[in-house]
Amino acid sequence: MADIAHELRTPLAGIQGTVEAIQDGVFPWTAESLDSIHQQAIFLNRLVEDLRTLANAEAGQLALALAPLDLAELACRTVTAFQPQATVQQVDLSLTGAENLPLTNADPQRLGQVLTNLLDNALRHTPAGGQIRVTLSAEQTGIHIAIIDSGEGIAPVDLPHIFDRFYCADGSRNRQTGGSGLGLAIARQLVEAQGGKIWAESPPVGRSQGSAFIIFLPVYGGGSRGE
């Protein structure tokens, strides 16, 4: 409750301060002053929705539409959606290993939410000229999907806590960048609710820099695409 109160306080203080400044005549009643209030309200709505999702997931009350899923197709759609942003940021974003994979049993909307969060985080922390690799691989019991970036990485002291709610591993992941500190906590709950696992490595195996977020999902009935 203290964490939630802390997170709500900042946007509410911004809204209150702007409204009082307008009432006192310090700020004019303009589209720009209203935009500040609007942005804070958007953040509050996002935070409340994230809190609701996390609470439902932790209570085992999150509705999931589980079905046989082609993870390669979902990964391809998600990566394609982020290509324009990656191009603007001059980041090389690619997908590999998306052929002849078995199906998994998952909710495409919820799993897509997880992949979107992980790719968004990777782009936030990968500088111009860097790389993000989304890799897919299969083993007998399941499929791995990894989002590997060449960014600054995660400090060893932070690594065990990055899936904790409201935990911000660095100063750049703050309210100005839109982070609520709940994205990775929600990602963990959503993946585990679908029978999978998620973890982070920094630096990734075989690399000297960057981070990797890896999801493991069990194979659905041992079948492959098209079966």
- Amino acid identity of 190? L
pLDDT in tens, the chain (227 residues): 676 777 778 778 888 888 888 888 887 888 877 887 888 888 888 788 878 888 887 777 788 899 999 999 999 999 999 999 999 999 999 999 878 899 999 999 999 999 999 999 999 999 999 999 999 999 888 999 999 999 999 999 999 999 988 776 554 444 444 456 788 988 999 999 999 999 999 999 888 899 999 999 999 874 444 44
Helical spans, DSSP H, in the chain: 2-23, 31-58, 71-88, 108-124, 183-193
Rounded-to-integer distance, Cα 184 and Cα 119, Å: 12
| Dihedral angle of Cα 39, 41, 45, 50, to the nearest 10 degrees | 60
Would strands 142-149 and 102-106 be described as parallel, antiparallel, or unpaired?
unpaired
**Which pTM does this prediction carry?**
0.78
Q: Is the distance from CB of 206 to CB of 217 less than 8 angstroms?
A: no
3-class DSSP state of 192: helix
Instruction: Measure the N-to-C terminal CA separation of the chain; round to a whole number of Å.
Output: 48
Core vs surface per residue 195-209: b (16+ CB within 10 A) or e: ebebebbbebeeeee
